[in-house]
């Protein structure tokens, strides 16, 4: 097979994957807003409910509604990708994705005490591949559905033939996939948590150039790990273990997030190193990337793409929830995503070098930016040197992101949202393939 055919095949697969991701991604902005509004520091106990207790049930409902989506995000992607990735799918494709993911998670849970991580005891360990696990199972279900949805079994097994066979074979495949991924999980934990996390613990507390480099590495690797669902292995190190400060009760506390909010008497002056640089990216740079994706969409798809990009960009800006936007190009244009990861690292390094301090209880969106404006000003030596300068940096990153993303998308032909092949063409191809596999094409030739 020629390189041209191989690249064309890879491009077609990327387009199919991109289309299949759009349905689950489209559900996330609303869930993200509900999740943020229901947080304790918004409508909850530490926010407006402190002054109006009747808002607490409202906050609980919003948090539960948004959390239900994000807690089951991988499952949503498994079903959505299964239906969207198959060239000619129906409800049984989604059922296969559902069955496969439930089996996948069940096997991982069974193996977690042996090969998992993160728990105080082996029984509390977990194996978490996040959305990546859902996408893998979704693609597997789609491919198995295309291959077996017309299978004929012996008479005594005929009831399980056809579409009924697909969830069965998908579940068996999910067992194998789960075992393989569980086997390699300890290696990921050793590399990310113990080795890289251990280095961050040392470099991040030394200050100076070492801290700047540590911030760059953390920002870059943090973004690179998100598509693989492994970022949680790294995040806990700087955010909840690194450094120390004195709490209001005199206790010693640890972690960038913990000490930013709880440290007193100047013991938290070092905090923000592993949080501040996310604000320019999440509030300004990624929304600019969404604008570039919108503007590079095909003319006939620009309106629909714009509606999606505006919603995910607003979600990123307001709440700091960027997964809906990042997932839109992470899997179909990973080189573009890698550029984004490196630029995120430079943002963390830059604000660290400038001495800007800021933090978040939820994520680096406008809500946390406004809530922590005073504390950021205090730790940064003033509003101009802190949160206001952070906005200026964010606007500069927005310009860089917009023009760089627009150039790379067009130059390298990435299948970002709105640039996929027409669904009509794909449907015609699927019809032709189905006719060929069932012999209908040959029947048509004989009838002529």
User: Which two tokens mark 153?
Assistant: 């079994």
User: Which two tokens mark 198?
Assistant: 């251990």
Query: CB–CB of 255/240 below 8 Å?
Result: yes
Name the band, by pLDDT with cuts 50, 70 and 90, for residue 447. Answer: very low
The answer to whether residue 83 scores a pLDDT higher than 60 is yes
pLDDT of residue 442: 44
* Residue 337 covered by a domain: yes
pLDDT of residue 58: 93
Q: What percent of the chain has pLDDT over 70?
A: 90
* Residue 277 covered by a domain: yes
User: Which two tokens mark 193?
Assistant: 């948590």
Q: Is 0.85 surpassed by the pTM of this model?
A: no
* Residue 29 covered by a domain: no
Name the band, by pLDDT with cuts 50, 70 and 90, for residue 427. Answer: very low
- Dump pLDDT digits (tens) for 84-99: 888 777 788 899 999 9
Closest of 439, 362, 447 to residue 150, by C-alpha: 439
Name the band, by pLDDT with cuts 50, 70 and 90, for residue 337. Answer: very high
User: Which two tokens mark 37?
Assistant: 């509004």
- Dump pLDDT digits (tens) for 17-48: 777 887 788 778 888 888 888 888 788 888 88
- Dump pLDDT digits (tens) for 249-279: 788 888 888 888 888 777 777 888 899 999 9
Query: CB–CB of 103/175 below 8 Å?
Result: yes
* Residue 114 covered by a domain: no
User: Which two tokens mark 47?
Assistant: 């926010």
User: 């206790």: which residue's tokens?
Assistant: 251
Average pLDDT taken over every residue of the chain: 86
Buried b (16+ CB within 10 A) or exposed e, 279-298: bbbbbbbbbbbbbbbbbbbe
- Dump pLDDT digits (tens) for 206-223: 778 888 999 999 999 999
Task: Output the CA torsion 371→32→285→198 (10° steps).
Answer: 80
* Residue 401 covered by a domain: yes
pLDDT of residue 437: 45
Using H for helix, E for strand and C for coil, what is the string for the chain?
A: CCHHHHHHHHHHHHHHHHHHHHHHHHCHHHHHHHHHHCCCCCCCCCCHHHCCCCHHHHHHHHHHHHHHHHHCHHHHHHHHHHHHHCCCCCHHHHHHHHHHHHHHHHHHHHHHHHHCECCCCHHHCECCCHHHHHHHHHHHHHHHHHHHCCCCCCHHHHHHCHHHHHHHHHHHHHHHHHHHHHHHHHHHHHHHHHHHHHHHHHHHCCCHHHHHHHHHHHHHHHHHHHHHCCHHHHHHHHHHCCCCEECCCCCEECCHHHHHHHCCCCCCCCCCCCCCCHHHHHHHHHHHHHHHHHHCCCHHHHHHHHHHHHHHHHHHHHHCCCHHHHHHHHCCCHHHHHHHHHHHHHHHHHHHHHCCCCCCCCCCCHHHHHHCHHHHHHHHCCCHHHHHHHHHHHHHHHHHHHHHHHHHHHHHCCCCCCCCCCHHHHHHHHHHHHHHHHCHHHHHHHHC
pLDDT of residue 429: 45
Beta strand pairing status for 252-253 and 245-246? Answer: antiparallel
pLDDT of residue 433: 45
Least confident of 21-30, 165-174, 408-417: 21-30
* Residue 219 covered by a domain: yes
pLDDT of residue 28: 82
The set of residues, in sequence order, having a beta carbon less than 8 Å from that of 322 and lying 6+ positions away, is 281, 282, 286, 315, 316, 363
- Dump pLDDT digits (tens) for 346-385: 999 999 999 999 999 888 999 999 999 998 998 999 999 9
- How many structural domains compose the chain? 1
* Residue 153 covered by a domain: no
The answer to whether residue 395 scores a pLDDT higher than 90 is yes
Q: What percent of the chain has pLDDT over 90?
A: 48
* Residue 9 covered by a domain: no
pLDDT of residue 11: 60
pLDDT of residue 9: 59
pLDDT of residue 270: 81
169 to each of 20, 43, 148, 182, how far by Cα in Å? Answer: 21, 46, 9, 20
Name the band, by pLDDT with cuts 50, 70 and 90, for residue 436. Answer: low
What is the span of the domain harbouring residue 352?
206-441
- Dump pLDDT digits (tens) for 310-327: 999 999 999 999 999 999
């Amino acid at each position: 097979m020629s390189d041209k055919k191989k690249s064309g095949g890879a491009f077609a697969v990327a387009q199919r994957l991109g289309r299949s991701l759009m349905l689950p991604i489209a559900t996330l902005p609303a869930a993200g807003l509900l999740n943020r509004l229901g947080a304790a520091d918004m409508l909850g106990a530490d926010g407006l409910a402190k002054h109006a207790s009747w808002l607490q049930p409202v906050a609980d409902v919003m948090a539960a509604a948004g959390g239900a989506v994000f807690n089951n995000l991988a499952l949503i992607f498994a079903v959505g990708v299964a239906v969207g990735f198959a060239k000619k799918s129906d409800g049984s494709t989604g059922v296969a994705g559902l069955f496969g993911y439930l089996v996948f998670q069940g096997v991982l849970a069974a193996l977690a005490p042996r090969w998992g991580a993160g728990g105080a005891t082996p029984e509390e360990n977990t194996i978490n591949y996040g959305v990546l696990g859902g996408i893998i199972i979704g693609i597997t279900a789609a491919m198995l559905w295309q291959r077996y949805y017309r299978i004929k079994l012996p008479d005594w097994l005929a009831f399980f033939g056809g579409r009924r066979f697909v969830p069965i074979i998908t579940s068996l495949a999910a067992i194998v996939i789960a075992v393989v991924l569980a086997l390699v999980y300890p290696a990921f934990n050793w590399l990310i948590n113990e080795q890289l996390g251990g280095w961050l613990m040392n470099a991040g507390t030394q200050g100076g150039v070492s801290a700047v480099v540590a911030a760059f590495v953390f920002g870059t690797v943090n973004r690179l790990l998100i598509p693989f669902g492994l970022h949680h292995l790294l995040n806990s190190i700087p955010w909840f273990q690194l450094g120390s400060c004195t709490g209001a009760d005199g206790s010693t506390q640890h972690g960038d997030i913990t000490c930013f909010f709880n440290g007193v008497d100047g013991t938290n002056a070092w905090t923000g190193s592993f949080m501040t640089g996310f604000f320019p990216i999440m509030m300004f740079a990624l929304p600019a990337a969404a604008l570039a994706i919108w503007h590079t969409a095909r003319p006939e798809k620009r309106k629909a793409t714009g509606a999606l990009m505006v919603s995910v960009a607003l979600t990123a800006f307001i709440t700091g929830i960027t997964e809906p936007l990042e997932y839109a190009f992470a899997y179909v244009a990973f080189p573009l995503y890698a550029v984004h990861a490196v630029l995120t690292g430079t943002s963390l390094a830059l604000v660290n070098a400038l001495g800007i301090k800021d933090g978040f209880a939820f994520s680096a969106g406008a809500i946390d930016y406004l809530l922590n404006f005073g504390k950021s000003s205090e730790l940064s030596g003033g509003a101009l040197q802190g949160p206001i300068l952070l906005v200026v940096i964010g606007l500069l990153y927005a310009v860089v992101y917009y023009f760089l993303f627009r150039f790379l998308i067009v130059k390298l032909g990435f299948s970002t949202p709105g640039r996929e092949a027409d669904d009509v063409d794909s449907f015609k191809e699927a019809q032709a393939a189905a006719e060929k596999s069932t012999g209908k094409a040959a029947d048509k030739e004989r009838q002529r």
